[in-house]
Structures are given as C-alpha cells and as structure tokens.
Amino acid sequence: MSATINTSLAAGRRLPNLWDAAALLCVFGALIAVTHIARGTMIPIDAPGATEVSLDPWHLPEYAVRTTMRMFAALVCSLIFTFIYAAAAAKSRRAGLVLIPILDVLQSVPILGFLTFTVVFFMNLFPGQVLGLELAAIFAIFTSQAWNMAFSLYQSLKTVPADLMEASLSFHQTGWQRFWRLEVPFATPGLVWNTMMSMSGGWFFVVASEAVSVGDNTWKLPGIGSYVAMALEQKDIAAVVYAIIAMLAVILAYDQLLFRPLVAWSSKFRFETTAGATASDPWVLRLMRRTRLLQLVGDGFGDAAARLGGLRLSLPLPLRPRATAARRPSRVVDGIWLAVLVGVLGWAGYKVVGFAAIELRWSDLGEAVLLGLITLLRVVVLMILASLLWVPIGVWLGLRPVWARRAQPVAQFLAAFPANLLFPPFVLFIVYFHLSPDIWLTPLMVLGTQWYILFNVIAGAAAFPGDLREAASNFRIGGWLWWRKVILPGIFTYYITGAITASGGSWNAAIVAEVASWGDTKLVAHGLGAYIAEATDKGDMARVVLGVAVMSCFVVLFNRLLWRPMYAYAQRRLTL
Amino acid sequence: MDIAVATRPCLMEVQACRQAYHKDASADLVVLDGVNLTLHEGEIVALLGRSGSGKSTLLRIVSGLLRPTAGTVLWRGVPIQGPTEGVAMVFQSFALFPWLTVQENVELGLEARGVPRAERENLGEAAIDLIGLGGFESAYPKELSGGMRQRVGLARALVVHPELLLMDEPFSALDVLTAETLRTDLIDLWMDGKLPVKSILMVTHNIEEAVLMCDRILVFSSNPGRVASEMIVPFPHPRNRLDPAFRQMVDDIYAVMTRRSVPEPRAAAAAPASPLALPLQRVGTNLMSGLMETLAAAPYNGRADLPALAASLQYEVDELLPLGETLQLLGFAVLEEGDIHLKDAGRQFVDADTDERKRLFATALRAHVPLINMIRQVLDERWNHRASAVRFRDELEDHMSPDYAEDTLRTAVSWGRYAELFSYDEEAEQFSLEDIG
C-alpha cells in the first residue's frame, strides 16, 4: 500500500499529469453542481419551478444530482450524529443506560409513517421556503441511515482490544488522542461498511420522501423520487423506465467512485495481525494514489487530520481502574439518575395515555394488531419463499469462486437499488390481470430486501472451508444429507445476518408496498402498512402513531423472539 | 554485585500491596497479598510465577495502569497517580496499532507527549536503528514476523527513554529461536549500556529465561499471589545455559515452585468451608495419560526430574506444573522437590486398557474431586437424572472468581465425560445420566 506512494514520491515528478486535468474537471464540475443546487433551496416555495417536476428525460440528470445531494447531506448528518451519540453512549455508563435501548427501538420504528408530520414540522421552521421541504426529506433519509451506523461505532468502541487500550494509557495519550488514534481507526471498517448499507437503505426513503402530500397539498421536490411519483400519476411508463436507468447510473457512479475505494482503504484499519489475501485496489483508489495533484490534496487532508487527532486535548479524566473495588460508581448519583429517568418515563406515559384516551378506543388497537398479524404473515411467508429461492442459488454461486466474484457486486448493487422504483411494472401487471392485491402486492415487500439474503449466502458459501467440502465428498455425502449436515450449518451465520436485514427492511417496505397506485387506480392490500399509509393520507395522526407503535412492537418482538436467539445459537454452535 | 545494586538509588518501591476483586456477597477474591518490591537502578528483575499468580497484575500496578486495593507504590519516593512518565511497557501480545506503520507506532509515545514532529522522527529513527529494525520504517505490523513485531514493541517503549522498562512476558508469544535472539540482543544492548533505561522489570513464567537474563528473581506463589522466594542470580553475562551452576539454579527454582503447592491444602487461605473451593486446572485427559505413560517408560521408569522432563517434552513450567499437580490431586503421582514420581495407581492406569482406564479414572475422580462426586450424587438422587449446571456454577462462584469457576466447571465436565460419570448438554447447560451405562 504505502509502497506505491513512496515510489511515486521518489520518482520526483512534480508536474501535473493528464490524470490531474481530468481530476480537476471533475472537482470543478461537482462544485458548480453543488452551488447550483444550494441556490435552489433558498427560493420561496411558490416561486415558479421550485416544486415543479417535469417528465422530460433531459431533466433527469439534474434531478439525479439533486437526489444524490440530499442523500449525502443526510449522510453527513448521520456521521455527525453517530460520532456524538455513540461516543456519549460508550463513554458514559449512565448515558449508555438510556441511549442504547432508545437506539434499539428507533431502529425498529418505521419512520416512513411519520413523514407527513416531519414535513409539517420543518415547513413551520422555514415557512414559505423550499428549505423546509428539503430538510424534511433529508431528515427522513437521516432516520434511515443513522441508527445502524451509531450502533456499529458504539459496538466498536466497546470492544477495543484491551492490550491496545493499555498501550495507549501507558503512553499517556490523552482522551482526544486515544479517540482518534485508537478508537476511531479500530471502528472504521465496521463504520464504512454500515455507511454503505445505510446509503442503500436511504435510497428507499429518498424516493418516498420527495413527493409528500399533507392533507390536500402535495409538494414535489425536484428529484428522482418525485419524477417517479409524477410518472405514476400520469401513467407514463416510459418515464418510469428512464428513472430506473438514471437510478442505475447514479448508484453505479457512487459505488465505483466512493464506496469501493472507501472499503478498500478501510481494510487498512482491520484489526488482524496476519496479512491476508488482499483484493486489488479499485480503480478510483489507484487513480487517487497515482495522480500527483489528488495525492497532494489527499496527503494534505491526511496531514491535517493527523495533526488534529494528535492534539493533546484532554478532559482531566481520572485513571479508570479496572478493579471495581478500587472505585465503585456512586450509588447516590445512580439513584438520582434513575429517579430522573423514571420521572421522564412517567410523564411520557401519562401523555401517551391521555392522547390515546381522547383519540382512540380499544377496538382501534385490536384492529391494528390484527392487521399487524396479517403483515407478519406476509413477512414470514416472504422470508421463507425468498430463502427457498436464494439459498440454493447463493450456495451454487458461492461455491464457484469465479461466479461468486461476479455475482457478489451485482447482488450488493441490487440491494442498494430503491425497490419502490420497480413497483410500477408490478402494479400494471396486477391491474391488467385483475389479480388480488392482497396476494400480489406482497412480493413488493421483498423486492429490495431479498438481495441481502443472496449476497450473505454467497459470502458464506465462498468462505466455507475447502477441507470440509473435501471431507464431505470423500465420505460421499450428497443430496439432502449434504444440505442438512454440511452446507446449511456452514452458511447459517451468514444467512441469519442477511435474513435479519431482509426482514427488517420488509417491515419498513410494507408501508409503501401494501398501497400502490397507477393513475387513478389504487391497489390496497390488507395489512398494517396500508393502515399506516391510509391514516397518513387522511392526516389522522392518532392512527398513524398507533400503527407505527404497533409495527414497532411487532418488529422488536420478531427480533427478540426469533432472530436474536437464532443468531446467538449460530454464533455459539455454527461459527467455523 | 548485589551489594553494589542495593546501594544504588531506588527507582520504584511497592509496599504492602494488596489487590482484591470485590465479589458481591461472599469474601473478596485476593489476587495479590502483602507484596513488597524494591527496584534499584541498574538491575534486571524477574517476576516469576505460574499463570494466575498475580505477577501480571503486579506489573500493571507498577506501571500505574491499575490502582492497588491497598498499599502504596512509590516512584522515586513519590506515590504514583496513574501511568508514570518514566515507565514504559512492552506487551506480551505486542499491542501494536495495526493501522500505523512501524515508524508511527514507535512515535506514538512521543506524540502523546507533544514532542515536535522533526524531533519525533529523529528519535524514532534512532530507536528503530538501535533495535535492529532499520529498513522497516514504513512497514505495517501485519507485514512483520512475530519477532520483528516485538522489536517494534521494544523500540516503541525505548523511544521515550524510560527510566524503568516493564516487560510482560515479552517473549512468550515467539518461537524458541526468535525468542532467544531477542533475549541475547536485549542483554547485549543492556551490557553495552546502549539501552536508554536504568532498570528492567519483567514478568515471565519461563524459569530459564529468568535465570538467563535477570539479576534478581522474585518467585510468586498463587492463591493469593505472594512473593514466595527471592533469589539473586550471581552469574556474569553472557550466561551459559549448560553451565552446571546455571542448571542447579533452574533446579532450585523448580523445587521452590513445586514445594509451595505440595503440603498446603488450598482451603487453608479461605475459610475451611466447602470442599468445592478447589479450582480445577484445565488439563486434558489425553495429556494426563500421555505424561503417565512417559513417566512409566524408560528412561524415567516412574521418576523424573521436572526441568529435564520439561526440556525433553519442550514444555514450559507453566504447562508442566498444572499437569503434575493434577496427577497429584487424582492420586496418580507425587511432586516433591522438583521431581515427579508415579504412584501405584498411576502404574495401574498405564497398564490398563481403555475401558479399565476410564474405570480407574472415574474412581479417582469420585475419590478426590468433590465437585464431580457431588454432581454424580445429585444426578443419582434425582428422579429424572438431570441437573442444571447453573447451580454448580453458582456454588463454585461462592468460593472463587467467575473465571475460575467457569474453568473448573468446564474441566469437571470434560473429566466427567471421559470417565463416563455423566453426560452434559452444552446447549441446555445440563448434566444428565443419558448414555451412561
């Protein structure tokens, strides 16, 4: 890695090369695009063109850039949130006591249901300006990205190897230095991976959040999502296809330009002491390392970051003894803290009960739970079907290295693709053949999430030890026995990882997938997702809250009762 | 030499140090008790002991990473508060930052002190050259072999010019040859006065290493950790491992380390409570059979000198002693004065076939390991012949730390399974008499 840098330094070429010219062009292009879009956000909401969307495909590049900018704005917010929230939760025991369960619940709440209200909130912050709408969209994306990133950082901070921690302490690094020199680097690979996952999840939300109707008003922020919404209203299938193509291009671009290099770079921070087989650098990273100008800029950033991280800032933190006997946490402060928490909880509970008593009856809860059970049935059936389909395929691909290498990026790419863009063809199909929405809208829920199962299974099969395969064939183990005793246990951990993500995503997708429209035709399936979506349309806040709360409970229970035990079992017994 | 050392200025002083981990309800778990230690300038001192004897804990107390429950630690006469400026540490696991190059790793301690960059680089390079790492400055730790990594660890500690260098089993993660090279390199630098340190304190469980490198050896006993004996190593450097005096000293230390554990019933320290207060050491049944067979055969014919046995088996004292002690516990062998000899029960075991061995082993377990006897009794009494492991673990934890309890229980499980006294379901954490004839 460092060898390439050093040789180019030694070569002593100081003159910019052709790559520099290309790079310069890209940088300036990006800058201009950003300023253009930034100007667009400050104009009043009723100015001509501010919230209008044209179906002309020539507008698509601009829309794509605007949508992407929203994504990245949200990503930056998520990163800032992650660093503050996770650091607070990891460093302070008392804060962690509260912050981590909150995060756990937030992860399971389908924020999509609250979209309407966040829009109203942000529009009231900036009345009459597009900025309010923009912020609402960005917030919606943020809520789909931040939680798992924060979790990842928190978990890394909690599992910093003890010997490195001791080394850092014994060399008198300050808290600030330790954070940037030890803890953040240690957390980087996980954080980068989760950021990539978040980005994929975010597309789903960006498409849903660009066209928002509150009561009678409908606003459309220029972007791919609103373009598709418009196309659906006007029954323009060609426009839908254009949008899908534009989306493919955007995802391909940021995947190649940003995430591949980032993942390759972050492998440097992976905590392993043996040199493993390393994949070749992606082309962008090579470009950056070979381009004189980009390299200088990169080195400059790196240098500044190193200086900043090396600053001897510190809170006068006392030495943390490992022996609990030496300094036990103060009971009194704990007691006060607990009392405050109980107070806040009590107040919140009082408010919730009061709110629910006015607006809702017990029958509403019954209805929501019943619909939740229907959606649960959908999720379960879909998970089974998707597993039956993708596990054999994934195993087949994973055991053939050449195929695995080709299929893996495709599956990851498909997982990143916002599945709601693909809904229109399905809706057309259902309308044309007069099929039952209750059954045929269901597959939409896994359209985007099934790929997590596929690429995790591929990864698992590819990592399956060669000697076990050889042993299996040596003992002539074949057929069903091979699946039962050899490969399924071998990939189980990977499969569970994928299935957890897929099932979580499916619940979220239900809000969008159980209601679909094509022009004036509206297809509605019975389920909790449709319940939330319809309540949102009517502006019925109480039922939205109820629906979202019930769905959150379902998701949390589903995770606790099914996935966590299975994951724990897999970790314990089936990890190779 | 010892007189000369004693008159030199005192660097570090540990007085009446006690380290106990608080356990809810029952008594504290004492790791170190009444430890005194004085370090003078110009000496290399070894803390020698078995794993679990608290020697690494003492090293961490000296370094300031850990605050003792009781007692004082004085650095140049002043009580320490947290990691001390003049002390640097070398870790058993190297503890290198995998995302920093060799140079960056070495500069770490300087950077933490706010040394300007140019000076940092100069000092770093000097340390790297001193320790024989020149040319590897831009390498990442994962590109290096274990020996090279530990050299980085050494350079990183030396670059801050500590007055006291602490080493926590620095060579135990390395293979024999690499470790030997590093030891001699370090001693050469020390003898030539090239090491920018005034004194070295190292933790080890390797007796020969201690005798080879150190001027003074503190032998620790376990449960709780105490200084059992202090010895001065009178030989000049370079030392010869084959020198009879050297061998004699190694033998003596073996004798000290075995003597301690023989006569004292362990319960002596704790309240004379339940017989369950007997931590079992994780020794496999195959190892036990293997050692007994080796002892029974020529050239040992039933009796062996521990250092010689360890050398021929390529075992360290840390591996051999638990094995010997376990055989002693089960009544198969006896340890005395650095020797081990096989008892009749042991010979009987060696001569038996597999099934007979299991029977003999089961008898020995029920006679000498109260925990296993109790598990079997409970199983016999229950109508469904099942019992949860949790209750036994809870009971063990009343007498020992959770880690020891876990180890003891696991060992009991594996011994009991081998002896076919009971079976165990890992998933349900349950003992039963299923499949037991």
Mean pLDDT of A465-480: 81
Total tally of structural domains belonging to chain B: 3
Contacts with B, A 180-209, CB within 8 Å: 181-182, 185, 188
| Residues A560/A380/A432/A520 CA torsion (nearest 10 deg) | -20
B111 touches chain A (CB under 8 A): yes
User: B116 — contact with chain A (CB < 8 Å)?
Assistant: no
A269 touches chain B (CB under 8 A): yes
Count CB-CB contacts under 10 A for residue A136.
Answer: 26
Q: Is A325 in contact with B109 (Cβ distance < 8 A)? A: no
Q: What is the structure's pLDDT at A20?
A: 61
Q: In this structure, are residues A355 and A364 in contact, taking their beta carbons and an 8 Å threshold?
A: no
Residues A199 and A137 in one domain: yes
Both tokens assigned to A240: 């839908």
Instruction: Say if residue A246 is in the same domain as residue A374.
Output: no
Mean of the pLDDT values across residues A545-564?
85
Distance, in Å, from the CA atom of A37 to the CA atom of B104, rounded to the nearest integer, reads: 42
- Residue B202: the pLDDT is 94
B145/A contact by beta carbon, under 8 A:
no
CB contacts of A172 in chain B (<8 Å) are 83, 85, 109, 112-113
Which phi and psi (to 5°) does residue B266 adopt? -65, -30
Looking at the fold, whether B314 and B428 belong to one and the same domain comes out as no
Among the partner residues A164, A321, A327, nearest to B95 by beta-carbon distance: A164
Q: Which of A171, A273, A325 sits opposite B98 (nearest CB)?
A: A273
Q: Reply yes or no on whether the pLDDT at B193 is more than 50.
A: yes
pLDDT at A275: 47
The two tokens of residue B235 are 């030989």
> Which of these three, B340, B361, B382, is where a domain ends?
B361
- A48 falls in which pLDDT band (50, 70, 90)? low
Whether A305 and A369 share a structural domain: no
Bigger pLDDT: A285 or B322? B322
Cβ-based contacts of B145 with chain A (< 8 Å): none
User: ∠ CA(A220), CA(A223), CA(A228), 5° rounding?
Assistant: 75
Which has the closest alpha carbon to B286: B423, B432, B417, B421? B417
CA distance A303 to chain B (A): 12
Q: In angstroms, what separates the C-alpha of A182 from chain B's closest C-alpha?
A: 7
- A427 pLDDT band, cuts 50/70/90, is confident
How many beta carbons lie within 10 A of that of residue A424, not counting itself?
Answer: 23
Q: What is the mean pLDDT of residues A488-504?
A: 86
pLDDT of A538 > 90? The answer is no
Contact A177 B112 (CB under 8 A): yes
Residue A310 distance to chain B (closest CA, Å): 7
* Residue B22 pLDDT: 66
A280 Cβ under 8 Å from any chain B Cβ: no
Please check the confidence at residue B187 and state whether its pLDDT lies above 60: yes
Same structural domain, B345 and B374: no
Contact B69 A275 (CB under 8 A): no
In this prediction, residue A485 carries a pLDDT of 83
Say yes or no for a CB contact (<8 Å) between B69 and A271.
no
Q: How close B232 gets to chain A, by Cα (Å)? A: 29
Whether residues B163 and B250 share a domain: the answer is: yes
Q: What is the pLDDT of residues B125-162, one digit of tens each?
A: 999 999 888 889 999 888 898 889 999 999 999 998 99
- pLDDT at A43 (0 to 100): 61
Check residue A225 and give its pLDDT.
Answer: 83
Q: Among residues B259, B289, B313, which one ends one of the domains? A: B259
- The domain of A568 spans 360-573
Q: Do A301 and A440 sit in the same domain of this protein?
A: no
Residue A449 at interface with chain B, using a CB cutoff of 8 Å = no
Q: How confident is the model at residue B311 (pLDDT cuts 50, 70, 90)?
A: confident
Which chain B residue is nearest to residue A170, measuring alpha carbons?
A: B83
Say whether pLDDT at A279 is over 60. no
pTM equals 0.76
pLDDT at site B18: 87
| pLDDT the model gives residue B395 | 84
How many Å lie between the alpha carbon of A377 and the closest alpha carbon of chain B? 30
* Cα–Cα separations (whole angstroms), residue A345 to A97, A348, A565: 14, 5, 29
CB atoms within 10 A of CB B196: 18
Which has more pLDDT, A358 or A390? A390
- Among A287-291, A343-347, A394-398, B148-152, which stretch is predicted with the lowest mean pLDDT? A287-291
* Alpha helices per DSSP H over A92-212: 93-108, 115-125, 130-158, 162-170, 175-178, 184-209
* Average pLDDT of span A209-234: 78
Q: What is the DSSP letter of A327?
A: S
Whether B200 shows a pLDDT value over 90: the answer reads yes
In chain A, the residue whose alpha carbon lies closest to the alpha carbon of B145 is: A274
Q: Around Cβ A175, how many Cβ atoms within 10 Å?
A: 15
Structural domain containing residue B218: 2-259
Asked, for residue B268, whether it belongs to a domain, the answer is no
CA distances from B200 to A220, B44, B87, B168, B263 (A): 72, 5, 10, 11, 34
Region B258-262: mean pLDDT is 57
pLDDT of residue B4: 56
One domain for residues B232 and B141: yes
Instruction: Say if A1 falls within a structural domain.
Output: no
Same domain, B319 and B353: yes
Number of compact structural domains in chain A? 2
**Token pair recorded at residue B77:** 């006469």
Q: How confident is the model at residue A7 (pLDDT cuts 50, 70, 90)?
A: very low
Q: Once rounded to an integer, what is the mean pLDDT over residues B34-56?
A: 88
Of A323 and A154, the one with more pLDDT: A154
The predicted structure's pLDDT at residue A567:
85
Q: Are residues B34 and B171 in the same domain?
A: yes
B189 pLDDT band, cuts 50/70/90, is very high
- pLDDT at position B268 over 70: no
According to the model, what pLDDT value does residue A289 have? Answer: 64
Pairwise pLDDT comparison (A462 vs B363), residue with the higher score: B363
State pLDDT tens for residues A294-331.
666 667 777 777 767 666 665 544 444 333 334 456 77
Judge if A287 and A385 occupy the same domain. no
Do residues A398 and A256 both lie within one domain? no
pLDDT of A550 higher than 50: yes
The 10s digit of each residue's pLDDT in A330-385 is: 777 778 888 888 888 888 888 777 777 777 778 888 888 999 999 999 999 999 99
pLDDT at B264: 43
Average pLDDT over residues B404-415: 89
Residues A157 and A219 in one domain: yes
A575 touches chain B (CB under 8 A): no
For residue B316, what is the domain's CATH number? Answer: 1.10.10.10
Using CB atoms and an 8 Å cut-off, which of residues 327-346 of chain A contact chain B? 327-328
Q: In terms of domains, do B296 and B250 share one?
A: no
C-alpha to C-alpha distance for B293 and A538, rounded to whole angstroms = 84
Q: Could you say which of B20, B113, B138 has the minimum Cβ distance to residue A2?
A: B138
Q: Residue A298: what pLDDT?
A: 67
Structure confidence at residue B128 (pLDDT): 92
The answer to whether B87 faces chain A, any CB pair under 8 Å, is yes
Task: Decide which of A205 and A319 is more confident.
Answer: A205
pLDDT-based confidence at B298, cuts 50/70/90?
Answer: confident
In a domain, A338, yes or no: no
- pLDDT at position B256 is 85
Q: Is residue B380 part of a domain?
A: yes
Q: How far is A338 from chain B (nearest CA, A)?
A: 22
B266 domain-assigned: no
Give the model's confidence band at B288: pLDDT under 50 very low, under 70 low, under 90 confident, else very high. Answer: very high
Most confident of A207-211, A226-230, B51-55: A226-230
Q: Which residues of A touch B93 (CB under 8 A)?
A: 163
Contact B22 A171 (CB under 8 A): no
Phi, psi of B16 (to 5 degrees): 45, 50
User: What is the CATH number for A202?
Assistant: 1.10.3720.10
Question: Could you tell me which residue, B226 or B277, shows the higher pLDDT?
Answer: B226
Mean pLDDT of chain A: 78
Burial class (CB in 10 A: 0-12, 13-18, 19+), A353: exposed
CA distance B150 to chain A (A): 12
Question: Are residue A304 and residue A418 in the same domain, yes or no?
Answer: no
Residue A9 within a domain: no
pLDDT for the residue numbered A540: 77
Q: Is residue B116 part of a domain?
A: yes
Report whether pLDDT(A133) > 50: yes
- Inter-chain touch B65–A169, beta carbons under 8 Å: yes
How far apart are the CA of A277 and the nearest CA of chain B, in angstroms?
A: 12
Give residue B154's pLDDT: 92
Q: What is the pLDDT of residue B265?
A: 42
Question: Which helix (H) or strand (E) covers residue B165, if one does?
Answer: strand B164-168
Residue B368 or residue A232, greater confidence:
B368
d(CA A476, CA B30): 56
Residues B207 and B180 in one domain: yes
β-pairing, B29-40 with B10-21?
A: antiparallel
Chains A, B: CB pairs < 8 Å: 107
Q: Which of B20, B89, B99 sits opposite A185 (nearest CB)?
A: B99
Claim to verify: residue A409 and residue A558 sit in the same structural domain: yes
| B437 part of contact set with chain A, CB < 8 Å | no
Determine the residue of chain B that is closest to A173 in CA distance. Answer: B112
For chain A, say whether B278 makes contact (Cβ under 8 Å).
no
Res B414: pLDDT: 92
Confidence label for A83 from pLDDT (cuts 50, 70 and 90): very high
Please give the residue that has the higher pLDDT: either A41 or B411.
Answer: B411
CA B396 – CA B414 distance, rounded (Å): 17
Whose tokens are 């009856």? That residue is A361
| pLDDT above 80 (res A463) | yes
Same domain, A308 and A378: no
Long-range CB contacts (within 8 A, 24+) of B73-82? B73/B12, B73/B13, B73/B14, B73/B15, B73/B17, B74/B12, B74/B13, B74/B14, B74/B15, B75/B11, B75/B12, B76/B10, B76/B11, B76/B12, B77/B10, B77/B13, B81/A319, B82/A318, B82/A319
Do residues A404 and A307 both lie within one domain?
no
* Distance (Å) from the alpha carbon of B71 to chain A's nearest alpha carbon: 12
B91/A163 touch (CB, cutoff 8 Å), yes or no: yes
Q: Which residue has the higher pLDDT, A196 or B273?
A: A196
Q: For B322-395, where are the E strands, in sequence order?
A: 333-336, 339-342, 386-388
* Min distance B384 CA to chain A CA atoms (Å): 26
- Name the closest residue on chain A to residue B166, using Cα atoms: A170
A77 falls within a domain: yes
